[in-house]
Chains A and B, each alone.
Chain A
Protein backbone atom coordinates (compact mmCIF):
# COMPACT_ATOMS: atom_id res chain seq x y z
CA UNK A 1 0.00 0.00 0.00
CA UNK A 2 2.79 2.34 0.94
CA UNK A 3 4.38 1.87 -2.44
CA UNK A 4 1.13 2.52 -4.17
CA UNK A 5 0.63 5.69 -2.19
CA UNK A 6 4.06 6.88 -3.20
CA UNK A 7 3.25 6.21 -6.80
CA UNK A 8 0.00 8.04 -6.41
CA UNK A 9 1.82 10.97 -4.89
CA UNK A 10 4.21 11.07 -7.77
CA UNK A 11 1.37 11.01 -10.22
CA UNK A 12 -0.27 13.90 -8.45
CA UNK A 13 2.92 15.89 -8.67
CA UNK A 14 3.18 15.07 -12.31
CA UNK A 15 -0.37 16.12 -12.88
CA UNK A 16 0.28 19.42 -11.19
CA UNK A 17 3.22 20.02 -13.42
CA UNK A 18 1.16 19.26 -16.45
CA UNK A 19 -1.56 21.55 -15.25
CA UNK A 20 0.92 24.35 -14.92
CA UNK A 21 2.13 23.73 -18.43
CA UNK A 22 -1.38 23.59 -19.69
CA UNK A 23 -2.18 26.79 -17.87
CA UNK A 24 0.68 28.53 -19.55
CA UNK A 25 -0.38 27.28 -22.88
CA UNK A 26 -3.93 28.33 -22.25
CA UNK A 27 -2.88 31.86 -21.48
CA UNK A 28 -0.93 32.04 -24.65
CA UNK A 29 -3.80 30.57 -26.56
CA UNK A 30 -6.22 32.94 -24.96
CA UNK A 31 -4.17 35.87 -26.06
CA UNK A 32 -3.95 34.40 -29.49
CA UNK A 33 -7.62 33.67 -29.57
CA UNK A 34 -8.48 37.16 -28.52
CA UNK A 35 -6.46 38.51 -31.35
CA UNK A 36 -8.03 36.11 -33.78
CA UNK A 37 -11.48 36.82 -32.46
CA UNK A 38 -10.99 40.46 -33.06
CA UNK A 39 -9.86 39.72 -36.57
CA UNK A 40 -12.72 37.34 -37.12
CA UNK A 41 -15.15 39.84 -35.76
CA UNK A 42 -13.91 42.44 -38.17
CA UNK A 43 -14.18 40.02 -41.04
CA UNK A 44 -17.69 39.02 -40.06
CA UNK A 45 -18.85 42.58 -39.95
CA UNK A 46 -17.35 43.18 -43.34
CA UNK A 47 -19.09 40.13 -44.69
CA UNK A 48 -22.43 41.13 -43.28
CA UNK A 49 -22.13 44.54 -44.78
CA UNK A 50 -21.14 43.01 -48.06
CA UNK A 51 -24.12 40.71 -48.07
CA UNK A 52 -26.44 43.57 -47.54
CA UNK A 53 -25.02 45.48 -50.47
CA UNK A 54 -24.93 43.06 -53.41
CA UNK A 55 -24.47 39.35 -54.10
CA UNK A 56 -21.65 40.01 -56.52
CA UNK A 57 -19.51 41.54 -53.85
CA UNK A 58 -19.90 38.45 -51.65
CA UNK A 59 -18.62 36.33 -54.46
CA UNK A 60 -15.63 38.59 -54.82
CA UNK A 61 -14.84 38.35 -51.15
CA UNK A 62 -14.94 34.55 -51.29
CA UNK A 63 -12.47 34.67 -54.15
CA UNK A 64 -10.10 36.65 -52.05
CA UNK A 65 -10.35 34.27 -49.12
CA UNK A 66 -9.99 30.99 -51.04
CA UNK A 67 -7.81 30.75 -54.07
CA UNK A 68 -9.56 27.61 -55.29
CA UNK A 69 -12.99 29.14 -55.83
CA UNK A 70 -13.52 30.78 -59.20
CA UNK A 71 -14.83 34.27 -59.57
CA UNK A 72 -18.59 34.39 -59.87
CA UNK A 73 -19.12 30.89 -58.46
CA UNK A 74 -20.77 30.37 -55.09
CA UNK A 75 -19.20 27.88 -52.68
CA UNK A 76 -22.25 25.63 -53.13
CA UNK A 77 -21.76 25.64 -56.89
CA UNK A 78 -18.08 24.86 -56.44
CA UNK A 79 -18.97 21.91 -54.19
CA UNK A 80 -21.31 20.52 -56.86
CA UNK A 81 -18.64 20.69 -59.53
CA UNK A 82 -16.04 19.14 -57.22
CA UNK A 83 -18.48 16.31 -56.38
CA UNK A 84 -18.77 15.51 -60.10
CA UNK A 85 -15.00 15.66 -60.45
CA UNK A 86 -14.41 13.16 -57.63
CA UNK A 87 -17.12 10.87 -58.99
CA UNK A 88 -15.40 10.93 -62.39
CA UNK A 89 -12.00 10.23 -60.81
CA UNK A 90 -13.51 7.16 -59.08
CA UNK A 91 -15.25 5.98 -62.28
CA UNK A 92 -12.14 6.36 -64.40
CA UNK A 93 -9.88 4.69 -61.84
CA UNK A 94 -12.17 1.67 -61.48
CA UNK A 95 -12.90 1.17 -65.18
CA UNK A 96 -9.89 2.42 -67.19
CA UNK A 97 -6.43 0.92 -66.82
CA UNK A 98 -3.69 3.57 -66.86
CA UNK A 99 -1.86 3.54 -70.22
CA UNK A 100 1.55 2.78 -68.69
CA UNK A 101 0.26 -0.33 -66.87
CA UNK A 102 -1.64 -1.56 -69.94
CA UNK A 103 1.52 -1.21 -72.02
CA UNK A 104 3.47 -3.44 -69.62
CA UNK A 105 0.65 -6.03 -69.59
CA UNK A 106 0.57 -6.22 -73.42
CA UNK A 107 4.34 -6.64 -73.44
CA UNK A 108 4.00 -9.55 -70.98
CA UNK A 109 1.30 -11.13 -73.17
CA UNK A 110 3.68 -11.04 -76.14
CA UNK A 111 6.45 -12.58 -74.03
CA UNK A 112 4.56 -15.69 -72.92
CA UNK A 113 4.96 -18.85 -75.00
CA UNK A 114 2.17 -19.61 -77.46
CA UNK A 115 -0.62 -22.05 -76.53
CA UNK A 116 0.22 -22.08 -72.82
CA UNK A 117 -2.13 -21.40 -69.93
CA UNK A 118 0.10 -18.39 -69.13
CA UNK A 119 -0.61 -16.87 -72.55
CA UNK A 120 -4.31 -17.79 -72.18
CA UNK A 121 -4.42 -15.91 -68.84
CA UNK A 122 -2.64 -12.82 -70.20
CA UNK A 123 -4.92 -12.79 -73.24
CA UNK A 124 -8.04 -12.79 -71.04
CA UNK A 125 -6.51 -10.01 -68.92
CA UNK A 126 -5.84 -7.87 -72.02
CA UNK A 127 -9.40 -8.45 -73.29
CA UNK A 128 -10.79 -7.65 -69.86
CA UNK A 129 -9.08 -4.25 -69.83
CA UNK A 130 -10.69 -3.39 -73.18
CA UNK A 131 -14.20 -4.49 -72.18
CA UNK A 132 -14.02 -2.55 -68.90
CA UNK A 133 -13.05 0.62 -70.73
CA UNK A 134 -15.71 0.23 -73.44
CA UNK A 135 -18.53 -0.64 -71.04
CA UNK A 136 -17.34 1.73 -68.32
CA UNK A 137 -17.57 -1.05 -65.74
CA UNK A 138 -15.09 -2.12 -63.02
CA UNK A 139 -11.92 -3.81 -64.32
CA UNK A 140 -12.07 -6.06 -61.24
CA UNK A 141 -15.07 -6.77 -59.02
CA UNK A 142 -12.89 -6.15 -55.98
CA UNK A 143 -12.79 -2.39 -56.22
CA UNK A 144 -10.57 -2.47 -53.16
CA UNK A 145 -9.65 0.05 -50.53
CA UNK A 146 -9.98 3.57 -51.91
CA UNK A 147 -6.75 5.41 -51.13
CA UNK A 148 -6.99 9.11 -51.98
CA UNK A 149 -3.86 11.27 -52.03
CA UNK A 150 -4.77 14.94 -52.04
CA UNK A 151 -2.21 17.66 -52.77
CA UNK A 152 -3.62 21.03 -51.75
CA UNK A 153 -2.58 24.65 -51.21
CA UNK A 154 -2.15 26.33 -47.83
CA UNK A 155 -5.46 27.09 -46.13
CA UNK A 156 -7.38 24.29 -47.82
CA UNK A 157 -10.48 23.04 -45.98
CA UNK A 158 -9.82 19.33 -45.56
CA UNK A 159 -13.00 18.64 -43.58
CA UNK A 160 -15.27 20.06 -46.24
CA UNK A 161 -13.37 18.27 -48.99
CA UNK A 162 -13.65 14.94 -47.11
CA UNK A 163 -17.43 15.29 -46.95
CA UNK A 164 -17.65 15.80 -50.71
CA UNK A 165 -15.38 12.79 -51.32
CA UNK A 166 -17.60 10.59 -49.15
CA UNK A 167 -20.73 11.74 -51.01
CA UNK A 168 -19.06 10.94 -54.34
CA UNK A 169 -17.98 7.49 -53.08
CA UNK A 170 -21.56 6.65 -52.04
CA UNK A 171 -22.82 7.75 -55.47
CA UNK A 172 -20.11 5.74 -57.28
CA UNK A 173 -21.18 2.67 -55.29
CA UNK A 174 -24.85 3.16 -56.21
CA UNK A 175 -23.83 3.43 -59.87
CA UNK A 176 -21.87 0.16 -59.75
CA UNK A 177 -18.40 1.66 -60.25
CA UNK A 178 -17.53 0.35 -56.80
CA UNK A 179 -18.56 -2.86 -55.06
CA UNK A 180 -20.25 -2.60 -51.67
CA UNK A 181 -16.92 -3.20 -50.01
CA UNK A 182 -16.86 -1.70 -46.52
CA UNK A 183 -17.68 -4.10 -43.70
CA UNK A 184 -18.06 -3.43 -39.96
CA UNK A 185 -15.23 -5.54 -38.60
CA UNK A 186 -16.99 -6.43 -35.33
CA UNK A 187 -20.56 -7.05 -36.50
CA UNK A 188 -19.92 -8.03 -40.15
CA UNK A 189 -22.54 -5.51 -41.25
CA UNK A 190 -22.15 -4.05 -44.75
CA UNK A 191 -24.05 -0.79 -45.12
CA UNK A 192 -23.36 -0.87 -48.85
CA UNK A 193 -21.98 2.66 -49.12
CA UNK A 194 -18.19 2.21 -48.89
CA UNK A 195 -17.87 4.78 -46.13
CA UNK A 196 -17.28 4.13 -42.45
CA UNK A 197 -14.47 3.96 -39.90
CA UNK A 198 -11.27 4.49 -41.91
CA UNK A 199 -13.04 4.29 -45.30
CA UNK A 200 -12.14 5.79 -47.68
CA UNK A 201 -8.48 6.46 -46.89
CA UNK A 202 -7.55 10.11 -47.42
CA UNK A 203 -3.93 11.28 -47.22
CA UNK A 204 -3.64 15.06 -47.37
CA UNK A 205 -0.41 16.72 -48.49
CA UNK A 206 0.08 20.49 -48.41
CA UNK A 207 2.04 21.87 -51.34
CA UNK A 208 3.31 25.30 -52.31
CA UNK A 209 1.16 25.56 -55.41
CA UNK A 210 -2.24 27.14 -55.94
CA UNK A 211 -3.82 24.12 -57.56
CA UNK A 212 -5.46 21.01 -56.19
CA UNK A 213 -4.41 17.50 -57.33
CA UNK A 214 -6.47 14.45 -56.41
CA UNK A 215 -4.97 11.02 -56.94
CA UNK A 216 -6.69 7.70 -56.27
CA UNK A 217 -5.47 4.12 -55.93
CA UNK A 218 -7.82 1.12 -55.70
CA UNK A 219 -6.04 -1.56 -53.69
CA UNK A 220 -7.72 -4.96 -53.91
CA UNK A 221 -8.05 -7.28 -50.92
CA UNK A 222 -6.54 -10.38 -52.55
CA UNK A 223 -3.28 -8.60 -53.27
CA UNK A 224 -3.32 -6.82 -49.91
CA UNK A 225 -3.43 -10.22 -48.19
CA UNK A 226 -0.15 -11.14 -49.90
CA UNK A 227 1.71 -8.05 -48.67
CA UNK A 228 4.41 -8.91 -46.15
CA UNK A 229 6.84 -7.19 -43.80
CA UNK A 230 10.29 -8.48 -42.83
CA UNK A 231 12.52 -7.44 -39.97
CA UNK A 232 16.21 -7.81 -40.75
CA UNK A 233 18.31 -9.74 -39.96
CA UNK A 234 16.27 -12.77 -41.02
CA UNK A 235 17.98 -15.96 -39.85
CA UNK A 236 16.19 -18.62 -42.00
CA UNK A 237 17.03 -16.67 -45.18
CA UNK A 238 20.48 -15.62 -43.99
CA UNK A 239 19.45 -12.07 -44.85
CA UNK A 240 21.45 -9.32 -43.16
CA UNK A 241 20.99 -5.58 -42.84
CA UNK A 242 22.16 -4.64 -46.32
CA UNK A 243 20.75 -4.51 -49.85
CA UNK A 244 21.62 -8.17 -50.44
CA UNK A 245 19.50 -9.07 -47.39
CA UNK A 246 16.72 -6.82 -48.69
CA UNK A 247 16.83 -8.60 -52.06
CA UNK A 248 16.54 -12.01 -50.39
CA UNK A 249 13.42 -11.15 -48.41
CA UNK A 250 11.71 -9.46 -51.37
CA UNK A 251 12.14 -12.59 -53.53
CA UNK A 252 11.01 -14.76 -50.59
CA UNK A 253 7.87 -12.65 -50.31
CA UNK A 254 7.15 -13.23 -54.00
CA UNK A 255 7.62 -17.00 -53.72
CA UNK A 256 5.23 -16.99 -50.77
CA UNK A 257 2.64 -14.96 -52.71
CA UNK A 258 2.79 -17.35 -55.75
CA UNK A 259 -0.35 -16.74 -57.82
CA UNK A 260 -2.57 -15.72 -54.94
CA UNK A 261 -2.42 -11.95 -55.34
CA UNK A 262 -3.54 -12.01 -59.01
CA UNK A 263 -0.12 -12.04 -60.61
CA UNK A 264 1.75 -10.88 -62.54
CA UNK A 265 1.90 -8.22 -59.87
CA UNK A 266 3.72 -5.04 -59.01
CA UNK A 267 5.70 -4.50 -55.80
CA UNK A 268 5.79 -1.27 -53.80
CA UNK A 269 8.55 -1.46 -51.22
CA UNK A 270 9.85 0.69 -48.38
CA UNK A 271 13.21 -0.06 -46.80
CA UNK A 272 13.49 1.35 -43.28
CA UNK A 273 10.90 3.44 -41.39
CA UNK A 274 8.64 1.83 -38.75
CA UNK A 275 6.05 -0.89 -39.29
CA UNK A 276 3.09 1.41 -39.90
CA UNK A 277 4.79 4.09 -41.98
CA UNK A 278 6.76 1.41 -43.83
CA UNK A 279 3.61 -0.01 -45.41
CA UNK A 280 2.29 3.51 -45.96
CA UNK A 281 5.34 4.51 -48.00
CA UNK A 282 5.40 1.13 -49.75
CA UNK A 283 1.88 1.81 -51.04
CA UNK A 284 2.82 5.33 -52.09
CA UNK A 285 5.15 3.72 -54.66
CA UNK A 286 2.07 2.69 -56.66
CA UNK A 287 1.62 6.36 -57.55
CA UNK A 288 4.79 6.09 -59.64
CA UNK A 289 4.38 5.20 -63.32
CA UNK A 290 5.74 1.86 -64.53
CA UNK A 291 8.63 3.49 -66.41
CA UNK A 292 9.69 5.57 -63.40
CA UNK A 293 13.13 4.67 -62.05
CA UNK A 294 14.33 5.47 -58.53
CA UNK A 295 16.62 8.53 -58.43
CA UNK A 296 18.79 6.63 -55.92
CA UNK A 297 21.36 4.65 -57.92
CA UNK A 298 21.40 1.59 -55.62
CA UNK A 299 17.62 1.41 -55.50
CA UNK A 300 17.29 1.78 -59.28
CA UNK A 301 19.64 -1.20 -59.65
CA UNK A 302 17.68 -3.21 -57.08
CA UNK A 303 14.34 -2.41 -58.76
CA UNK A 304 15.71 -3.77 -62.05
CA UNK A 305 17.30 -6.82 -60.45
CA UNK A 306 14.11 -7.78 -58.57
CA UNK A 307 12.01 -7.76 -61.77
CA UNK A 308 14.61 -9.80 -63.67
CA UNK A 309 15.13 -12.31 -60.84
CA UNK A 310 11.40 -12.63 -60.16
CA UNK A 311 10.74 -13.50 -63.77
CA UNK A 312 13.14 -16.44 -63.47
CA UNK A 313 10.98 -18.00 -60.71
CA UNK A 314 8.56 -19.54 -63.22
CA UNK A 315 5.46 -18.71 -61.15
CA UNK A 316 3.84 -16.96 -64.10
CA UNK A 317 0.46 -15.29 -64.57
CA UNK A 318 -2.04 -16.50 -61.95
CA UNK A 319 0.63 -18.93 -60.72
CA UNK A 320 -0.02 -21.17 -63.77
CA UNK A 321 3.71 -21.28 -64.48
CA UNK A 322 5.24 -19.00 -67.13
CA UNK A 323 7.64 -16.19 -67.82
CA UNK A 324 5.93 -13.18 -66.27
CA UNK A 325 5.75 -13.26 -62.48
CA UNK A 326 6.33 -9.55 -61.86
CA UNK A 327 5.45 -6.50 -63.97
CA UNK A 328 7.33 -3.92 -61.94
CA UNK A 329 9.05 -3.06 -58.67
CA UNK A 330 9.25 0.39 -57.06
CA UNK A 331 11.40 0.91 -53.99
CA UNK A 332 11.87 3.83 -51.62
CA UNK A 333 14.05 4.27 -48.56
CA UNK A 334 13.33 6.00 -45.25
CA UNK A 335 15.44 6.46 -42.15
CA UNK A 336 15.13 3.85 -39.41
CA UNK A 337 15.91 3.46 -35.74
CA UNK A 338 19.20 1.77 -34.81
CA UNK A 339 17.16 -1.16 -33.44
CA UNK A 340 14.98 -1.69 -36.53
CA UNK A 341 15.49 -2.59 -40.18
CA UNK A 342 12.14 -3.22 -41.82
CA UNK A 343 11.43 -4.18 -45.40
CA UNK A 344 7.74 -3.50 -46.06
CA UNK A 345 6.45 -5.10 -49.24
CA UNK A 346 3.08 -4.12 -50.63
CA UNK A 347 1.81 -6.46 -53.34
CA UNK A 348 -0.36 -4.99 -56.09
CA UNK A 349 -2.28 -7.18 -58.53
CA UNK A 350 -1.96 -6.75 -62.32
CA UNK A 351 -5.08 -4.57 -62.08
CA UNK A 352 -3.08 -1.67 -60.69
CA UNK A 353 -5.80 0.94 -60.78
CA UNK A 354 -4.50 4.45 -60.32
CA UNK A 355 -5.69 7.77 -61.64
CA UNK A 356 -5.47 11.42 -60.72
CA UNK A 357 -6.84 14.77 -61.76
CA UNK A 358 -5.50 18.30 -61.57
CA UNK A 359 -8.56 20.20 -60.38
CA UNK A 360 -9.24 23.64 -61.86
CA UNK A 361 -10.22 26.70 -59.81
CA UNK A 362 -13.93 26.07 -60.51
CA UNK A 363 -13.68 22.47 -59.22
CA UNK A 364 -13.74 20.85 -62.67
CA UNK A 365 -11.10 18.52 -64.11
CA UNK A 366 -8.15 20.38 -65.62
CA UNK A 367 -6.18 17.42 -66.86
CA UNK A 368 -5.61 13.79 -66.07
CA UNK A 369 -2.38 13.07 -64.25
CA UNK A 370 -1.82 9.58 -65.70
Chain B
Protein backbone atom coordinates (compact mmCIF):
# COMPACT_ATOMS: atom_id res chain seq x y z
CA UNK B 1 0.00 0.00 0.00
CA UNK B 2 1.34 3.38 -0.93
CA UNK B 3 1.78 5.85 1.90
CA UNK B 4 -0.79 8.23 0.48
CA UNK B 5 -4.35 7.40 -0.26
CA UNK B 6 -5.24 8.74 -3.70
CA UNK B 7 -8.60 10.45 -4.21
CA UNK B 8 -10.29 10.07 -7.57
CA UNK B 9 -13.23 12.40 -8.18
CA UNK B 10 -15.85 12.62 -10.93
CA UNK B 11 -15.60 13.55 -13.77
CA UNK B 12 -12.72 11.10 -14.17
CA UNK B 13 -9.82 12.32 -16.28
CA UNK B 14 -7.60 10.11 -18.40
CA UNK B 15 -4.37 11.70 -17.09
CA UNK B 16 -5.38 10.95 -13.49
CA UNK B 17 -5.96 7.34 -14.48
CA UNK B 18 -2.56 7.16 -16.17
CA UNK B 19 -0.93 8.45 -12.96
CA UNK B 20 -2.24 5.51 -10.91
CA UNK B 21 0.16 2.66 -10.09
CA UNK B 22 -0.22 -0.91 -8.86
CA UNK B 23 -0.59 -0.91 -5.06
CA UNK B 24 -2.27 2.52 -4.83
CA UNK B 25 -5.20 2.69 -2.45
CA UNK B 26 -7.87 4.84 -4.08
CA UNK B 27 -11.07 6.41 -2.76
CA UNK B 28 -13.49 6.98 -5.63
CA UNK B 29 -16.16 9.68 -5.40
CA UNK B 30 -18.65 10.04 -8.24
CA UNK B 31 -20.51 7.84 -10.63
CA UNK B 32 -20.26 4.16 -11.45
CA UNK B 33 -22.28 1.64 -13.42
CA UNK B 34 -22.64 -1.99 -12.42
CA UNK B 35 -22.19 -4.53 -15.19
CA UNK B 36 -21.42 -8.20 -14.95
CA UNK B 37 -21.79 -11.42 -16.96
CA UNK B 38 -25.07 -10.81 -18.81
CA UNK B 39 -24.31 -7.15 -19.58
CA UNK B 40 -20.86 -7.94 -21.01
CA UNK B 41 -22.26 -10.69 -23.20
CA UNK B 42 -25.11 -8.36 -24.25
CA UNK B 43 -22.63 -5.68 -25.34
CA UNK B 44 -20.38 -8.26 -27.01
CA UNK B 45 -23.34 -9.62 -29.01
CA UNK B 46 -23.70 -6.18 -30.62
CA UNK B 47 -26.78 -4.95 -28.75
CA UNK B 48 -27.10 -1.18 -28.25
CA UNK B 49 -25.68 -0.01 -24.90
CA UNK B 50 -28.39 1.98 -23.09
CA UNK B 51 -25.90 4.38 -21.42
CA UNK B 52 -22.90 6.44 -22.56
CA UNK B 53 -19.94 4.74 -20.89
CA UNK B 54 -17.33 7.20 -22.16
CA UNK B 55 -14.97 8.16 -19.27
CA UNK B 56 -17.04 6.07 -16.85
CA UNK B 57 -16.24 3.22 -14.47
CA UNK B 58 -17.83 -0.23 -14.67
CA UNK B 59 -18.31 -2.10 -11.41
CA UNK B 60 -18.46 -5.91 -11.59
CA UNK B 61 -21.25 -6.26 -9.07
CA UNK B 62 -24.63 -7.88 -8.66
CA UNK B 63 -26.18 -6.03 -5.73
CA UNK B 64 -29.04 -7.01 -3.43
CA UNK B 65 -31.67 -4.39 -4.25
CA UNK B 66 -35.07 -3.91 -2.66
CA UNK B 67 -37.70 -1.88 -4.50
CA UNK B 68 -39.53 0.46 -2.13
CA UNK B 69 -43.27 1.08 -2.38
CA UNK B 70 -42.63 4.55 -3.86
CA UNK B 71 -40.69 2.94 -6.75
CA UNK B 72 -37.27 3.97 -5.46
CA UNK B 73 -34.50 1.45 -4.96
CA UNK B 74 -32.49 0.60 -1.89
CA UNK B 75 -29.14 -1.18 -2.15
CA UNK B 76 -28.90 -3.72 0.67
CA UNK B 77 -25.52 -5.24 -0.23
CA UNK B 78 -23.06 -4.48 -3.02
CA UNK B 79 -19.65 -6.17 -3.05
CA UNK B 80 -17.65 -7.07 -6.18
CA UNK B 81 -18.03 -10.26 -8.20
CA UNK B 82 -15.18 -12.27 -9.78
CA UNK B 83 -13.88 -10.32 -12.78
CA UNK B 84 -12.06 -13.00 -14.74
CA UNK B 85 -15.35 -14.13 -16.29
CA UNK B 86 -15.40 -10.86 -18.26
CA UNK B 87 -11.90 -11.43 -19.63
CA UNK B 88 -13.19 -12.34 -23.13
CA UNK B 89 -15.18 -9.07 -23.35
CA UNK B 90 -13.63 -6.30 -21.24
CA UNK B 91 -10.90 -5.27 -23.71
CA UNK B 92 -13.63 -4.62 -26.31
CA UNK B 93 -15.57 -2.43 -23.87
CA UNK B 94 -12.37 -0.46 -23.20
CA UNK B 95 -11.74 -0.07 -26.95
CA UNK B 96 -15.30 0.67 -28.10
CA UNK B 97 -16.87 2.52 -25.16
CA UNK B 98 -14.01 4.52 -23.66
CA UNK B 99 -14.30 3.45 -20.04
CA UNK B 100 -11.52 4.61 -17.71
CA UNK B 101 -11.73 1.91 -15.07
CA UNK B 102 -13.12 -1.42 -14.01
CA UNK B 103 -13.83 -2.40 -10.39
CA UNK B 104 -14.04 -6.06 -9.45
CA UNK B 105 -12.25 -8.80 -7.59
CA UNK B 106 -9.68 -11.48 -8.35
CA UNK B 107 -7.99 -9.55 -11.15
CA UNK B 108 -8.10 -10.05 -14.92
CA UNK B 109 -5.90 -11.53 -17.63
CA UNK B 110 -3.48 -10.57 -20.36
CA UNK B 111 -6.06 -9.20 -22.84
CA UNK B 112 -7.44 -6.76 -20.28
CA UNK B 113 -3.97 -5.75 -19.08
CA UNK B 114 -2.94 -4.97 -22.67
CA UNK B 115 -6.13 -2.97 -23.24
CA UNK B 116 -5.53 -1.01 -20.00
CA UNK B 117 -2.16 0.01 -21.39
CA UNK B 118 -3.42 0.83 -24.88
CA UNK B 119 -6.58 2.77 -23.99
CA UNK B 120 -5.60 4.27 -20.62
CA UNK B 121 -7.60 2.24 -18.16
CA UNK B 122 -7.04 0.67 -14.71
CA UNK B 123 -8.34 -2.31 -12.79
CA UNK B 124 -9.47 -1.45 -9.28
CA UNK B 125 -9.76 -4.31 -6.79
CA UNK B 126 -12.55 -3.93 -4.23
CA UNK B 127 -12.66 -6.16 -1.15
CA UNK B 128 -14.59 -9.29 -2.04
CA UNK B 129 -17.45 -10.08 0.29
CA UNK B 130 -17.35 -6.63 1.92
CA UNK B 131 -20.90 -5.98 0.73
CA UNK B 132 -21.89 -3.78 3.69
CA UNK B 133 -18.81 -1.55 3.86
CA UNK B 134 -19.15 -0.95 0.12
CA UNK B 135 -22.95 -0.50 0.14
CA UNK B 136 -22.53 2.25 2.76
CA UNK B 137 -20.45 4.20 0.24
CA UNK B 138 -23.32 4.22 -2.26
CA UNK B 139 -25.20 7.44 -1.67
CA UNK B 140 -27.86 7.12 -4.36
CA UNK B 141 -29.23 4.82 -7.03
CA UNK B 142 -29.77 7.12 -10.00
CA UNK B 143 -31.09 4.76 -12.65
CA UNK B 144 -31.36 1.16 -13.77
CA UNK B 145 -31.07 -0.29 -17.26
CA UNK B 146 -31.77 -3.72 -18.81
CA UNK B 147 -33.39 -4.99 -15.57
CA UNK B 148 -36.34 -6.47 -17.43
CA UNK B 149 -34.04 -8.33 -19.83
CA UNK B 150 -31.29 -9.67 -17.55
CA UNK B 151 -32.82 -9.57 -14.05
CA UNK B 152 -31.98 -7.49 -11.00
CA UNK B 153 -28.48 -8.75 -10.02
CA UNK B 154 -27.30 -8.60 -13.64
CA UNK B 155 -28.81 -5.18 -14.53
CA UNK B 156 -26.85 -1.95 -15.08
CA UNK B 157 -27.35 0.06 -11.87
CA UNK B 158 -26.23 3.69 -12.13
CA UNK B 159 -25.01 4.76 -8.71
CA UNK B 160 -23.30 7.68 -7.00
CA UNK B 161 -20.62 6.77 -4.47
CA UNK B 162 -18.55 8.66 -1.91
CA UNK B 163 -15.01 7.53 -1.04
CA UNK B 164 -15.50 4.03 -2.38
CA UNK B 165 -12.35 2.11 -1.27
CA UNK B 166 -10.35 0.14 -3.86
CA UNK B 167 -6.78 -0.95 -4.58
CA UNK B 168 -5.15 -0.63 -8.03
CA UNK B 169 -3.98 -4.13 -8.94
CA UNK B 170 -3.56 -3.59 -12.71
CA UNK B 171 -2.38 -0.23 -13.99
CA UNK B 172 -2.14 1.39 -17.43
CA UNK B 173 1.60 0.69 -17.68
CA UNK B 174 1.45 -3.08 -18.05
CA UNK B 175 1.87 -3.93 -14.35
CA UNK B 176 -0.29 -6.53 -12.62
CA UNK B 177 -0.11 -7.37 -8.92
CA UNK B 178 -1.89 -10.65 -9.74
CA UNK B 179 0.94 -11.75 -12.06
CA UNK B 180 3.53 -10.94 -9.36
CA UNK B 181 1.68 -12.83 -6.59
CA UNK B 182 1.02 -15.81 -8.88
CA UNK B 183 4.69 -16.07 -9.85
CA UNK B 184 5.85 -15.86 -6.24
CA UNK B 185 3.30 -18.39 -4.96
CA UNK B 186 4.20 -20.86 -7.71
CA UNK B 187 7.84 -20.70 -6.67
CA UNK B 188 6.97 -21.33 -3.01
CA UNK B 189 4.63 -24.15 -4.04
CA UNK B 190 7.39 -25.87 -6.04
CA UNK B 191 9.54 -25.78 -2.88
CA UNK B 192 6.73 -27.04 -0.63
CA UNK B 193 6.09 -30.18 -2.68
CA UNK B 194 9.72 -31.12 -3.31
Q: Which residues of A line the B interface, CB within 8 A?
A: 115-117, 119-121, 124-125, 127-128, 131-132, 135, 137-143, 175-176, 178-181, 183, 188-190, 192, 220-222, 225, 237-238, 247-248, 251-252, 255, 258-260, 262, 309, 312-316, 318-321, 349-351
- A residues within 8 A CB of B131? 128, 132, 137-141
Say which residue of A175, A255, A319 sits within 8 Å of B106 (CB atoms). Answer: A319
Contact among B74, B136, B151 for A131, CB-based, below 8 A: B136
Cross-interface CB contact of A128 among B62, B84, B130, B188, cutoff 8 Å? B130
B: interface residue count bin: 35 or more
B82 interface residue, CB < 8 Å from A? yes
Question: Main SS of the interface on chain A?
Answer: loop
Nearest B residue to A249 by beta-carbon distance? B193
Which residues on the A side are within 8 Å of B184 (C-beta)?
A: 314, 321
B153 in contact with A124 (CB, 8 Å): no
A350 with B1, Cβ < 8 A, contacts A137-B135, A143-B64, A314-B184 known: no
- Please name all residues of chain B whose beta carbon is closer than 8 Å to the beta carbon of A175 when the two chains form the complex: 66
**Dominant SS among interface residues on chain B:** mixed
A180 touches B25 (CB 8 A): no
1/0 per residue, CB under 8 A from A, across B78-103: the answer is 11011010000000000000000000
Q: Does B21 contact A (CB under 8 A)?
A: no
Question: B32 at the A/B interface (Cβ < 8 Å)?
Answer: no
A135 cross-chain contacts in B, Cβ below 8 A: 132
- Chain A residues, Cβ within 8 Å of B82: 222, 225, 260
- Knowing A117-B167, A141-B64, A142-B81, say if A315 contacts B181 (CB, 8 Å): yes
Which of chain A's residues has its CB closest to B41's CB? A188
Once the chains bind, are A141 and B185 in contact (CB under 8 Å)?
A: no
A312 near B128: Cβ-Cβ < 8 Å:
no
Cβ of A116: which chain B residues have Cβ within 8 Å of it?
Answer: 1
Complex alpha-carbon distance, A137 and B192, angstroms: 41
Is B47 an interface position by the 8 A CB rule?
A: no
With A259-B106, A320-B177: A192-B151 Cβ-Cβ less than 8 Å: yes
Interchain nearest-CB distance for A135 vs B (Å): 7
Contacts of B23 in A (CB 8 A): 117
A319 to B184, CA, bound (A): 11
B167 touches A183 (CB 8 A): no
Provide the B3-43 mask, 1 if CB < 8 A to any CB of A, else 0: 10000000000000000000101000000000000100000
